[in-house]
Amino acid sequence: MEHDYGDVTVPAEGERIEVDDDGELIVPDEPIIPILFGDGVGKDVSPAAKRVLDTAAELTGRTVHWMRIYGGETARERYDENLPEDTVNAIREFRVAIKGPMTTPVGSGYRSLNVALRKKLDLYANVRPTYYLNGVPSPVSEPEQMDMVTFRENTEDVYAGIEWEAGSDDVSRVRDFVETRMGYEGAIHEGDVGIGIKPISEFGTKRLVRRAIDYALEHDREYVTLVHKGNIMKYTEAAFRDWGYEVAREEYGTEVITEDTLWEEQDGEVPDGTVVVNDRIADNMLQQLLTRTDEYDILATPNLNGDYLSDAAGAQVGGLGVAPGANFGTGLCLAEPVHGSAPKYAGQDKVNPTALMLSGRIMFEFLGWNDAADLIRDSIEDTIASKKVTYDLARHLDDAEKLSTSEFAETVVETMKTDGDN
């Protein structure tokens, strides 16, 4: 049933994205897409990304009709709350949306709005592609070896938010339950101690791993690596590994093999059209990102591991300023950059909008607009390769032309128009 959005304007033109009986998107050439600018530097990068996305759509024969929605600071001004139902309902009903960063206070204040959106909409897969753009300065010698996609479970693990504050009555009750009723005497230190629970479920794990394997098969990737700390956490992270292998073994037949099978039966050669599922301990995986970068395609991880790994991977290709991401549910996509709101730079027209532009690229790929998506990436790469960059990259390059956020966007647009004509 259509939601009444009150004073939020639904575009008079354009059409909704729908889903057919098989769960496939029905995408019009002029879709209505909600956009949330976000907090801090969101007010700078979101208009810049919107400009680039509009141009890519137009050059490929389409038009996006944007529906402005609100969260964080802008929602408090308009609704006197951080995450209004108008925003949640708009993303749910229009199915595909994009947002800038929103502020998450450390240690106090309201709960993360990003996490709240993911849970309310059951956006269970946080997908973060990490790849190198020619010309981006990098701290490693061969950044082009990085071409990896992290599938990070988005609703469980420590991000489920189940914790109790040190000194509270709740902590006393939890300690008593664990030590007295569960029999783990002395397991929790005396004195002030905060306690948290990290749930990892079979259901949540399997649908995340299933999505990662499907992506690998659809995009001709050879490996899906389950990353966990199962040597220590036997019933959560080791279970994540075991449930992941169950999906591979029980649902994919000969399309998916394990690493053992690869070496015992295939002599290390991956058969065409086949995906190899293996697993790595999280701390080992962090160092293999550097030492064996080109051996990894797709990572499937619990929430916290995925956060660490995707940021570390992003550092190898230039940092979070160029790190895109998106959240996926059943027939839903909410694109967003990996970086935060960086409030000290807000309104300065300074920061790099590439991450949000490339997040829009993921959104366009979800719509099936691969030509527009490729145009976005190619034009950004050509612009950076010509050393026309924002301050974060300019400080590491000789003879670079330092551009503002909006100037960089306009340069990408002009490059895109030239590339489109060619």
Nearest CA among 211, 165, 219 for reference residue 192: 165
Q: At what angle do helices 85-94 and 113-120 cross, to 10 degrees?
A: 50
> In angstroms, rounded to a whole number, what is the distance separating the alpha carbons of residues 84 and 80?
9
- Is 307 in the active site? yes
The reply to whether 421 sits in an annotated binding site is no
Q: Give the three-state DSSP class for 167.
A: coil
Residues in the chain: 422
The reply to whether 354 sits in an annotated binding site is no
User: Which of 39, 44, 307, 392 is flagged as catalytic?
Assistant: 307
The reply to whether 175 sits in an annotated binding site is no
The reply to whether 345 sits in an annotated binding site is yes
The reply to whether 395 sits in an annotated binding site is yes
The reply to whether 114 sits in an annotated binding site is yes
- Is 159 in the active site? yes
- Is 272 in the active site? no
The reply to whether 3 sits in an annotated binding site is no
The reply to whether 103 sits in an annotated binding site is yes
The reply to whether 297 sits in an annotated binding site is no
The reply to whether 343 sits in an annotated binding site is yes
The reply to whether 223 sits in an annotated binding site is no
Distances from the Cα of 29 to the Cα of 5, 60, 335, angstroms: 24, 10, 19
Write the CB contacts of 274 (distance below 8 Å, at least 6 apart in sequence).
222, 254, 255, 256, 257
Burial track 273-293 (b if 16+ CB lie within 10 A, e otherwise): ebbbbbbbbbeebbebbeeeb
The reply to whether 342 sits in an annotated binding site is yes
The reply to whether 344 sits in an annotated binding site is yes
User: Which of 70, 79, 159, 215 is flagged as catalytic?
Assistant: 159
- Is 110 in the active site? no
User: Which of 50, 99, 229, 388 is flagged as catalytic?
Assistant: 229
- Exposed, middle or buried, 252 (CB in 10 Å: 0-12/13-18/19+)? middle
Residue 316 CA from chain centroid, whole number: 17
Question: Quick one: how many helices (H) and strands (E) in the chain?
Answer: 14, 17
User: Which of 122, 283, 311, 371 is flagged as catalytic?
Assistant: 283
**Binding site feature residues for D-threo-isocitrate:** 112, 114, 118, 128, 152
**Binding site feature residues for NADP(+):** 103, 339-345, 352, 391, 395
**Binding site feature residues:** 103, 112, 114, 118, 128, 152, 307, 339-345, 352, 391, 395
**Binding site feature residues for Mg(2+):** 307
Residues belonging to the active site: 159, 229, 283, 307
